[in-house]
Amino acid sequence: MIVRTAKRGRGDVTVIDARGNLTLGKGSKGLHARIWELVKAGSTRILIDMSGIVSIDTSGLGELVAGYMTVSNAGGEMKLLNVSRPVKHLLQMTGVCAILETYEDEPSESRSEFFFG
């Protein structure tokens, strides 16, 4: 299975609903390609909802970091939402949590400043 993404807006925040396996192959490449498309279209605040991610490996982590760098180099911010306990543990073990902020629940439009202040 590859990662399927769906984009939805929340004020000036673009939310990507990621579903599937974020592992070596098409899944991780699909997510980074989606992030690249959004940045090219002008999105600078991207929130990735990870609640539908079944599994992730180091390739998937690399694609998250590459996505973060793409957004960051464009002057934007990318953050993660609804990260499962095993994925959060992997982020902590690899040090990726130092650059990618994670949150437990989705902001309402009025709370988007909490995530992207």
Q: What is the CATH number of the domain that holds 97?
A: 3.30.750.24
In a domain, residue 80? The reply is yes
In a domain, residue 9? The reply is yes
In a domain, residue 81? The reply is yes
CB 76 within 8 A of CB 38: no
pTM of the model: 0.82
Q: Is residue 107 pLDDT above 70, yes or no? A: no
pLDDT at residue 98, rounded to an integer: 92
E strands present in the chain: 4-10, 13-22, 45-56, 77-81, 102-103
In a domain, residue 101? The reply is yes
pLDDT at residue 116, rounded to an integer: 58
For the stretch 28-71, pLDDT in tens is 567 888 899 999 999 999 999 999 888 888 888 999 999 999 99
In a domain, residue 115? The reply is no
Domain count along the chain: 1
Query: What whole-number distance in Å separates Cα of residue 60 and Cα of residue 113?
Result: 28
Nearest alpha-carbon partner for 34 in 52, 72, 7: 7
